[in-house]
Chains A and B, each alone.
Chain A
Amino acid sequence: MTLLDGALWPYLLVILAGFLPTEIWRSLAVVFVRGLQEDSEILVLVRCVATALLAAVVARLVLLPPGELLVVPLALRIAAVACGFVVYLIAWRSVFLGILSGELFIIGSAWYFG
């Protein structure tokens, strides 16, 4: 087990537990779309599932965040996302201003509670 305890282990872990389980989904997609047209109705469904999945990732990272983000109470984490989103909508749909205001909100909250 010298290999598993050695300095190489994190690199092996990246390949076995990181690269392979992510790349398999991307590779399956290559096989899946062969012969499908750009405007195929199945691809609209696939896009919807991808969008809903990403939305779920967002919700999970806000509700059950990793590590240090827990310093900021849940209500304020939700408020920070809402703040960024509302500013994005009223600031001529500016991605930059939306993200900036949400960040200022969370950094301010973290500074107050930290």
Chain B
Amino acid sequence: MSESSASPPVPAGDPHVSGGRWALRGAWAAAKSVQGIVLFASFVGFGGLIQDVGFPLGAAILSTLLVWALPAQVLLVGGYAAGSAAPVIALAVGLSSVRLFPMAAAILPYLRSARQGIGIQFLAAHFVAVTAWIEGMRRLPGMAGEGRLPFFFGLSSTFVLMSMVATAVGFYLAGELPRALAIGLLFLTPLSFLIQLSHNARDFVDRLALAFGLLLAPLFAAYGGRLDLLWTGLVGGGAAWAVHWFLRRRHKGGGS
């Protein structure tokens, strides 16, 4: 049921396709994707969690729209439940969200448009989260330049909307679900992240970064202190890139 080959190849620079059509294509791509189903189920799990800890539904839905990063939202609600001070929660959320910087930086160059100002770039960056990033990184590079931005907005805003609905569904379903199923929903985030990342890692360098990250994470989690995620990303990602750089340089026969 992989849909990598299901969507028709996008004609380069088709002048008859308007921005609105591109946005609709993005929305449709989101609605029918496996990632959309997984995202919906993951946010149902989040809705159940907030019901458990007594976090108001309205604030949780607002967090899905404004924070738009499930691990950060789980931290936020967990901190609220534990009665942590706001600056402590903000620090934990900030540290856990460093990944958004390289993710946004990697996808934004595909979303540039000569006509739009920098405000649109900030809006596009806001929609960057794992699911939209993975789908975007897979589809955007082969797509016509002017279609990329509306396609991405259609795709990611549909993901956000689905997740806001799912947050509410989970809130009202909580307590009705068998415990094993609720645990299954919590497990969806790591499981789907890993498989989607592997699915996207077409180049050797991406696979290497993925493997290094998985192997180094337990090490840094044990000895890296509070910045363990950041260290894993920098050391694992940096090492993968160094191998890639070294191999390419040797391939070129030592020239620079």
Contacts and interface: CB of A to CB of B under 8 A. Distances in A.
Main secondary structure, interface of A, reads: helix
Nearest to A77: B187
Contacts, number: 319
B101 A56 contact: no
A69 B217 contact: no
Given A59-B218, A61-B189, A71-B183, A95 B121 contact: no
Interface in B116-154: 118, 121-122, 125-126, 128, 130, 133, 137, 141
Given A21-B94, A38-B110, A54 B193 contact: yes
B2 A94 contact: yes
Contacts of A56: 213-214, 216-217, 220, 228-229, 232-233, 236
Interface in A43-95: 43-69, 71-72, 77, 80-81, 84-85, 88, 92-95
A22 B110 CA distance: 21
A40 B110 CA distance: 12
A80 B192 CA distance: 12
A4 to B, nearest CB: 9
A98 B195 contact: yes
A52 B184 contact: no
Interface in B18-38: 34-35, 38
Contacts of A25: 94, 97-101, 104
B90 A10 contact: no
Interface in B174-197: 178-184, 186-197
B190 A62 contact: yes
B184 A60 contact: no
A18 B186 contact: no
Most buried by B among A23, A47, A66: A47
Interface of A: 7, 10-11, 13-30, 32-33, 36-38, 40-41, 43-69, 71-72, 77, 80-81, 84-85, 88, 92-99, 102-103, 106-108, 110-111, 114
Interface of B: 1-2, 34-35, 38, 49, 52, 55-56, 58-59, 62-63, 66-69, 71-74, 76, 78-80, 86-87, 89-91, 93-94, 96-106, 108-110, 118, 121-122, 125-126, 128, 130, 133, 137, 141, 178-184, 186-199, 201, 205-206, 208-214, 216-218, 220-221, 228-230, 232-238, 240-241, 244-245
12 contacts: A11-B62, A22-B68, A29-B102, A36-B109, A49-B238, A51-B201, A54-B99, A55-B214, A57-B71, A68-B182, A69-B186, A99-B34
